[in-house]
Amino acid sequence: MAVHIRLSRAGTKKRPFYNIVAADSRAPRDGRFIEKLGTYNPLLARDDSNRVTMNVERIKHWLGVGAKPSERVALFLGVAGIAPMPARPDRPQKAAPKKKAQERMEAQQKAAADSAAAAAQSPEPAAVESEPAAEESSEPVKETADEQPLEEQPEEPQPA
C-alpha cells in the first residue's frame, strides 16, 4: 500500500479549508484517510501562524516509513524545515510561446550572434570626426513673387 501525505478539502463552497492527511494513494481526495496530520487555511494571511498547522512528530514518522508528500505539502514541509525544500517545477505551458514564435526568437538570436561574430572579426575603423551639420535657421522661409501659391495667382481672362 503506497501512502501519500496530501491535502483533503474540508471547507464549504467558496471557503476552502484543507486537512493534511496520510492516505492510501488509491483513496479519493476527500475520501478515506489513515491519519490527520495538520490543517491548511488558504484564506488566512501568509504570515499568520494558523495558516498551516502540522503534527511534526507524526509527519516525520510517515516520512520515515516511506510516505510521499504531494507538491503542495512538500512545499509546506520545506518551509517548516522538516524536509528539504523541493525544486519548484517551471511549467508555464499556457504562457509559453508557440512553435512559430520560438522559431522567430531562434532566428533573431542566431542573427544577433552572427552580427556579433562579424563585428569581432572585422578590424575596427579609425575614428572619424564628423563635421557639425549646417545649422538651420528658425526664421520662416520668405516667398518670392515668382513662387506664389496657386490660389493667389491672378487668373487670366479667358477668350469668349
**Model confidence pLDDT, tens digit, residues 59-118:** 999 999 999 999 999 999 999 999 898 887 777 677 778 889 999 999 999 999 998 888
Instruction: Please provide the distance, in angstroms rounded to a whole number, between the alpha carbons at the two ends of the chain.
Output: 114
**Model confidence pLDDT, tens digit, residues 23-39:** 998 988 888 899 999 99
Give the chain's domains with CATH numbers.
3-80 (3.30.1320.10)
* CA 72 – CA 81 distance, rounded (Å): 14
* CA 2 – CA 23 distance, rounded (Å): 8
pTM of the complete model: 0.56
| Closest listed residue to residue 20, CA positions, set 31, 12, 8 | 8
Average pLDDT over residues 139-155: 57
Q: What is the signed CA dihedral for 74, 18, 42, 68, rounded to 10 degrees?
A: 10
Give the pLDDT score at 127.
54
Residues shown for the chain: 160
High-pLDDT (> 70) share of the chain, %: 76
Is pLDDT above 80 for 132? no
Give the pLDDT score at 155.
63
Take residue 5 and report the three cell numbers written for it.
501525505
Is pLDDT above 90 for 41? yes
Q: Give the pLDDT band of residue 4 (cuts 50, 70, 90).
A: very high
- H-helix segments, the chain: 56-64, 71-80, 99-121
